[in-house]
Structure 1
Amino acid sequence: MTTRVHIEQERERHLAAERAARTEAERAQRRLALLAEATSVLAATLDVDESLDRLTSLVVPLMADWCTVHLLGSDGRVQRVASRHRDHERVPLLRRLEELQPEGLSTDSYTAKVLAGDPAVMVDIDEDVLLSGIDDEELREVYRRIGLRSALVVPLRARRQVLGVLSLFTDGSGRTFDEEDLATAADLARRAALTVDNARLYSREHEVAEQLQRSLLPQLPDIAGLDRAARYLPGSTSAQVGGDWYDVFALPDGTVGLAVGDVMGHDMTAAAAMGQLRSVLQSYAWQGSSPAVVLDRLDQLVQGLDMAQLATCVYGRLQLPTHGAGRLRVANAGHLPPALRSPDGTVRLLATEASLLVGAALGTARDEVEEVVEPGSALVLYTDGLVEHRGRPIDEGLQALAEALASAPDSDAEAICDHLLTELAYGALDDDVALLVVRVLA
């Protein structure tokens, strides 16, 4: 009998050990799956708020009943950027808590201490102790109704700097945190911190690149009889300087030079090539050459200097009307055609014969088109980022441009610019956009 009992006890111990091992393995698998999903979610976008909101939606309810993320701003202020609770009916209560604590944190809170450099905190919350430091009766009541039971507060740390905190809480679910939860939260915080740090680095690089790009573009001159406006928008997917440019300049014979170009690439080499081409084109145009001759000479320069950057360009020479209509002559080097809106609202694309890129047509005379430009007409020159979008054929983009120009207000060039960008340059831009609009005044 004793032997049978002993055997049965051993069997129960083995079964219990197997169950414990299975439970531990399943928990480890869930933890790894959570971390893998978090990595995927955080890498999906450079929008910090969206990334962290998605992270809290993973953590709740798998790990916690409530999850928040606070970040330190460049001014040292703390801002809550994400919050999620398992019970949607409690969301108004949590919002009221944020209203009652507009700064988000008290100086003696665990969150504030972790932000100041203290290590991660895992603590069971004693309601009496929590409420003892709160004087505001409504705030005390909100905390009572939330019913916090335990908390995990871990720093978001990157490059030895604390960027924020990830906070996990339990309330009425009855769950508690353990050391494995703390390790998981710390792993999540490291991934979130890397996302925040990368996004901020990208934002700074993107801002510097945009400022440099704008510094390379000209200030548009005031020219009697001409209303002009221009815009430059950097592509959303690049943090580097690009090669898109525009230019307007008065010429000695009273005509006006108009140019838009695009040097392929997003780096300092493309920006340097853009600066060279813009300056040289203006120099050749100043000598009184026709648009086709200007581009022919630009071809010779690019070939002679063995410039490796591919580029497109459209250049027009506008004779403003004095008595009656003006005239426009345009030559094209592999660029998209300008669009001309007549005073009656009709829109035409000024397409020349198929043309090669700048530097590729050496020895081949480029074609020109000549158009009558009546007072009240609007001319639009642009780079491909305005009409080319992922998944949309270029022909559809050009048709969309013609429709947008036809429906644009006739008030001034600035309004036309704004209308075209609203209609065409929406969402995340695949490429940079340079846009030049000129209106011939009556």
Structure 2
Amino acid sequence: MNAIDRAREPGVLRAVFDGLGSGVFAADSEGRIIAANPRAVQIVARPVEEMLGRDMHDLLHRNADGSPFPRERCRTVAVLAGGRPAEGSDEFLLRGDGTTVPIIWAAAPLRLEGEPDGVVFVFHDFSVRKAAEEQTEAHLAALESLTARLTLVSEISSVLISSLDISQVLRRLGRLLVPELADWTAVDVYTGQSGELRRLAVHSEDDPVTARALEGPLPPLPEFSGSLLARALRGSGPVVLDADELEHGPGTPLDTAHRRMFERLGGRSAVVVPLLGRRQVFGVLTAARGKDSPEYGDDEAMVLDDIGRRAGLAMDNARLFDQQRHVAETMQRQLLTPLPQTDHLRMAARYRPAQAAAEIGGDWYDAFLLADGSTTMVIGDVVGHDLQAAAHMAEVRNMLRALAWDRQEPPSLIMRRLDEAMTNTSDAPMATVVFARIEGTEGGPWWLHWVNAGHPPPLLVTHDGRTRYLERSHGPLLGMSSTLNLGTSWPDAREQLPPRSTVLFYTDGLVESRTRPIDTGMDLLCRHAAALARRDVEDFCDELLERMDPRGDDVALLALRLPPYGAGAEGDDTPPPRGRAHSPAAHNRSAPGAEALGADDVFTDAPRGDDRTHPSRGDDRPSS
């Protein structure tokens, strides 16, 4: 017998039918089951005797939940009607135990000799693969949720380090948590008084008016309270509050205030986490969900606890920075100089620290009276923006003061001696300085005698708004010539100052920044100074800083305003300016000599410097 004949034997065909790894049903033209192989019996968990003669669709075809599947939508029934094969993967069969099993299937017409066409239905148990797909989908959903939370934590971390205004940061934190992790949030912080609390921020997108109304002072934390809220406020870790705890918790005033917030905003579940710094608790963050949202799980409580710790560390850093800033500012103001008011001359000074630094650096100004009666004005900048730079600044300033007082010499010689002193007696790095003497007699005219060591040139602003930089007398930075044995010098310059004009000394932070080249900044300075030429010298400095808006570096300003010609001269009864000039120096400091003469009369009657080297006064007096 050949292979073809053997294949047609009923025994062979039966062996194939029974041994096939897929389930097989055969049905007649009415859809009644006429045969089922062992794998089909195994998958649907029904005895073959129970299934033979039964309508295959009515007996087995179901929805996933076990409910009947509409016959008119059954694609296997359609094979009987249309005679064309079909296949699918989103179908379920009813097992003998009442459960359903997902299948992947194919159906084709069954042609039996002498009978109408039936249908053969071949299928596989798809439950293992279905479970794997569902598990993969669950893993993907969990991964997406984790990614979303990591993104949220990353965004919150960015917010927490974006500003030192901690009130603003905590308000933004509460907003970021809604709706990802909460329906509404609240932040309660200690005020600094023992146990006193304040509800700093409440955020609810559904009821913002009520949320804002709930902000304000809170009852203090009871000393012996053991409530969950008190535990969080003492830093014992996150606590989860359910509806029962919210409704029947302790009756302390603080717990009652917390419960009232839930009553007004609606809440069934909440997590309260401490804002925990390195050594202290700053308050608590409450994240709550309403009745239509799921209760908090352990993983969400852990995320919120991590956010609370990050916020606490941010508050800790802001507090430490504020303390450092206060110390630095106090030191800086002790280093800055109170200004003398000499006769009818007016001076004003300003100091603005770098925004990113601890409010201290190497920029300084100085002004004091010399033994010969002339007034000095100094603007300088030592390399650096820290406490060491400030210490070097004080060192250089004091050396210059001592040299200027002790040596009645031209500014150029004073500068050369200062360069040598820095090189041989100090570890101060390079510095730029303008050192100037204001010379002249009472009533004018006035002369500026100055030297410039690598510093931006002073700006002369006339009363009618003309401006020009005093660019003569420009020499090298201090700390370079002696160190490198360059043998360079600093030339003197002298210029007569028009009455009612302003001379502005400044540091480079006023005109230069990362976003603005120095040439552009100097052009802007001329334009703004010209527009402010007739303002009072105090307003002149304030408005100039406002308009220039320096960023990224320390800025020191020192402005001199000349009086009208003849003011204070013999026969003129115009009173000189009274009181102190405004300056950034500490309020408990006074200008040199104030203790002897009285703070309001410092140098008012002081003589002017020796003007024998000046041109004749007769023809050179400028008009007022």
TMscore range, shorter length: 0.7 to 0.9
Change (3 A) 1:323 1:216: closer
Q: In structure 1, the residue corresponding to 2:295 is in which secondary structure?
A: coil
Name the residue aligned to 1:24: 142
Q: In structure 1, the residue corresponding to 2:270 is in which secondary structure?
A: strand
Q: 1:369 aligns with which of 493, 502, 505?
A: 493
Name the residue aligned to 1:4: 43
2 CA distance for matches of 1:175 and 1:320?
83
Name the residue aligned to 1:47: 165
Change (3 A) 1:72 1:390: farther
Change (3 A) 1:31 1:377: same
**Shift in Å at residue 80 of structure 1?**
3.7
Name the residue aligned to 1:187: 306
1:298-337 paired onto structure 2 within 5 Å? 298-305=418-425, 307-337=427-457
1:220-239 paired onto structure 2 within 5 Å? 220-239=339-358
What letter is aligned with 1:61? P
Change (3 A) 1:8 1:80: same
**Shift in Å at residue 402 of structure 1?**
1.8
Change (3 A) 1:141 1:39: closer
What letter is aligned with 1:401? L
Q: In structure 2, the residue corresponding to 1:303 is in which secondary structure?
A: helix
Unaligned ranges ≥5, structure 1: none
**Shift in Å at residue 32 of structure 1?**
2.6
Q: 1:71 aligns with which of 189, 201, 204?
A: 189
Q: Is the 8 A contact 1:256 1:317 kept in 2?
A: yes
**Shift in Å at residue 328 of structure 1?**
0.6
Structure 1 stretch displaced more, 378-387 or 268-277: 268-277
What letter is aligned with 1:4? I
What letter is aligned with 1:347? T
Q: In structure 1, the residue corresponding to 2:43 is in which secondary structure?
A: helix
2 CA distance for matches of 1:315 and 1:173?
74
Q: Is the 8 A contact 2:458 2:469 kept in 1?
A: yes
What letter is aligned with 1:234? P
2 CA distance for matches of 1:22 and 1:386?
55
What letter is aligned with 1:364? T
Name the residue aligned to 2:218: 103
**Shift in Å at residue 123 of structure 1?**
1.4
How many pairs were matched up? 435
What letter is aligned with 1:103? L
What letter is aligned with 1:65? D
2 CA distance for matches of 1:271 and 1:139?
49
1:358-437 paired onto structure 2 within 5 Å? 358-362=478-482, 363-408=487-532, 410=534, 412-425=536-549, 429-437=551-559
2 CA distance for matches of 1:206 and 1:229?
24
1:350-361 paired onto structure 2 within 5 Å? 350-352=470-472, 354-361=474-481
Q: Is the 8 A contact 1:388 1:394 kept in 2?
A: yes
Name the residue aligned to 2:178: 60
Q: In structure 1, the residue corresponding to 2:179 is in which secondary structure?
A: helix
Name the residue aligned to 1:92: 209
**Shift in Å at residue 280 of structure 1?**
1.8
1 CA distance for matches of 2:190 and 2:250?
26
Q: In structure 2, the residue corresponding to 1:261 is in which secondary structure?
A: strand
Change (3 A) 1:365 1:15: closer
Name the residue aligned to 1:290: 410
Structure 1 stretch displaced more, 5-14 or 229-238: 5-14
**Shift in Å at residue 369 of structure 1?**
2.7
What letter is aligned with 2:350? R
Change (3 A) 1:437 1:173: farther
2 CA distance for matches of 1:225 and 1:406?
22
Change (3 A) 1:210 1:315: same
1 CA distance for matches of 2:514 and 2:427?
29
**Shift in Å at residue 347 of structure 1?**
1.9
Superposition misfits of 4+ residues, deviation over 6 angstroms: 130-134, 138-142
Q: Relative contact order, CA 8 A, sep 6+: which one is greater?
A: 1
Q: Is the 8 A contact 2:379 2:435 kept in 1?
A: yes
Q: Is the 8 A contact 1:227 1:412 kept in 2?
A: no
Q: Is the 8 A contact 2:186 2:203 kept in 1?
A: yes
Report the TM-score when normalising by structure 1: 0.88
Rg (Cα) greater in structure: 2
Q: Is the 8 A contact 2:346 2:562 kept in 1?
A: yes
1 CA distance for matches of 2:298 and 2:443?
86
Q: In structure 2, the residue corresponding to 1:309 is in which secondary structure?
A: coil
1 CA distance for matches of 2:305 and 2:494?
68
What letter is aligned with 2:213? R
Change (3 A) 1:353 1:104: farther
| Per-residue CA distance 1:112-133 (angstroms, 9 max, x = gap) | 5522344321112357548998
**Shift in Å at residue 300 of structure 1?**
1.8
Structure 1 stretch displaced more, 209-218 or 304-313: 304-313
**Shift in Å at residue 21 of structure 1?**
3.5
**Shift in Å at residue 279 of structure 1?**
1.6
2 CA distance for matches of 1:324 and 1:271?
37
Change (3 A) 1:323 1:221: closer
1 CA distance for matches of 2:166 and 2:41?
66
1 CA distance for matches of 2:169 and 2:471?
45
Structure 1 stretch displaced more, 276-285 or 153-162: 276-285
2 CA distance for matches of 1:339 and 1:355?
17
Name the residue aligned to 1:147: 266
**Shift in Å at residue 20 of structure 1?**
3.5
1 CA distance for matches of 2:479 and 2:332?
23
Q: In structure 1, the residue corresponding to 2:381 is in which secondary structure?
A: strand
2 CA distance for matches of 1:21 and 1:2?
34
| Per-residue CA distance 1:347-378 (angstroms, 9 max, x = gap) | 22111265311122342221233221133222
Change (3 A) 1:44 1:98: closer
Structure 1 stretch displaced more, 120-129 or 226-235: 120-129
2 CA distance for matches of 1:247 and 1:157?
45
Q: Is the 8 A contact 1:382 1:434 kept in 2?
A: yes
